[in-house]
Amino acid sequence: MPVSGRPPVPPRRPAARLRTPRALLVLPLALLLTLAWLPGRAAAADPAVSGGRLDWGIKQSFLTYVTGPVAHGSWALTGGAATVGGSLFRFHSATGGYDPATGALSAAFRGGVRFTGHRENGADALDLAISRLTVQAGADGGAALYADVSSKSRQTGQTSSASQARIADLSLAGVSLKNASGTLTLSNVPATLTGAGANAFGGFYPAGTALDPLTFSVTLKAPAADPAPTPTPTPTSTPTPTPTPTPAETAAATALDRGAFDWGVRRTFRDYVTGSIAKGAWQLADGAADGGAFFRWTPARGSWDPATGTLDARFTGTVRFTGLREGDTDGLDLTLANPRLTTAGSAGRLTVDVSGRTPDGATHTAAPVELATFDASRLGTADGLLTATDLPLTLTAAGAGAFGNLYPAGTEMDPLTVNLPLTATATVPPLPDLGPTASPTPSPAPAPDAAAPVAAAASPSTPIGPVTALAAVLLAAAAAATTIVLRRRKRP
pLDDT tens digits, one per residue of 164-209:
999 999 999 889 999 998 999 999 999 999 999 998 887 789 999 9
- Which pLDDT band holds residue 223 (cuts at 50, 70, 90)? low
C-alpha–C-alpha distance, residues 50 and 41, integer Å: 19
pLDDT of residue 460: 32
Residue 308 CA to chain centroid, in angstroms? 40
Q: How far apart are CA 210 and CA 193, in angstroms?
A: 6
2 or 395, higher pLDDT: 395
Least-confidence region, from 7-11, 252-256, 408-412: 7-11
Q: Are 438 and 185 in contact (CB under 8 A)?
A: yes
Which whole-number Å values give the CA distances from 77 to 130, 247, 307, 413, 451, in the listed order? 10, 42, 37, 15, 27
Q: For residues 390 and 417, what is the distance between their CA atoms, to the nearest angstrom?
A: 5
| Mean pLDDT within 324-331 | 93
Identity of residue 327 = G
Q: How many percent of the chain have pLDDT more than 70?
A: 73
pLDDT top residue among 3 and 349: 349
Model pLDDT, residue 435: 84
Answer whether residue 251 shows pLDDT above 80: no
How sure is the predictor about 127, in pLDDT bands with cuts at 50, 70 and 90? very high
Q: Are 41 and 35 in contact (CB under 8 A)?
A: yes
Question: In the predicted model, is pLDDT for residue 4 greater than 60?
Answer: no
Q: What ranges do the domains of the chain cover?
A: 49-220, 254-421
Q: Is the pLDDT of residue 44 over 50?
A: no
DSSP labels for 224-285? Answer: PPPPPPPPPPPTT--PPPPPPPPHHHHSPPSEE---EEEE-S-HHHHHHHHSTTT--EEEEE
Residue 214 has a pLDDT of: 96
pLDDT at 485: 39
The pLDDT of residue 43 is above 50? no
Q: Say how many CA atoms lie within 13 Å of 294 toward its Cβ.
A: 22
Over residues 414-471, the pLDDT tens digits come to: 999 999 999 999 999 999 888 876 433 333 333 333 344 444 444 333 333 333 333 4
**89 and 57 in contact (C-beta within 8 Å)?**
yes
Residue 452 per-residue DSSP state: S
CB atoms near residue 140 (< 10 Å): 9
- Among 107-111, 262-266, 285-289, 484-488, which stretch is predicted with the lowest mean pLDDT? 484-488
Reduced to 3 states (helix: H, G, I; strand: E, B; else coil), residue 323 is: strand
Answer for the pair 96, 107: CB distance below 8 angstroms, yes or no: yes
123/463: higher pLDDT: 123
User: In Å, what is the CA distance from 229 to each residue of 226, 232, 233, 354?
Assistant: 9, 9, 12, 55
Which residues, 6+ apart, have CB-to-CB distance to 3 below 8 Å?
none
CA dihedral 231, 235, 236, 237 (to 10 degrees): 30
For the segment 378-419, what is each residue's pLDDT rounded down to a tens digit? 999 999 999 999 999 999 999 999 999 999 999 999 999 999
Percent of the chain with pLDDT over 90: 58
The pLDDT of 128-142, averaged and rounded, is 93
What is the tens place of the pLDDT at every residue in 69-98?
A: 999 999 999 998 998 877 899 999 999 999
CB 87 within 8 A of CB 59: no
Res. 311: pLDDT tops 90: yes
* pLDDT exceeds cutoff 60 at 270: yes
Euclidean distance between CA atoms 252 and 382, whole angstroms: 11
Read off the pLDDT band of 158 (50, 70, 90): confident
Calculate mean pLDDT across residues 14-18.
42
> What is the model's pLDDT at position 124?
92
How far apart are the C-alpha atoms of 283 and 297, rounded to whole Å?
A: 13
What is the pLDDT, as a whole number, of residue 148? 96
pLDDT averaged over every residue in the chain: 79
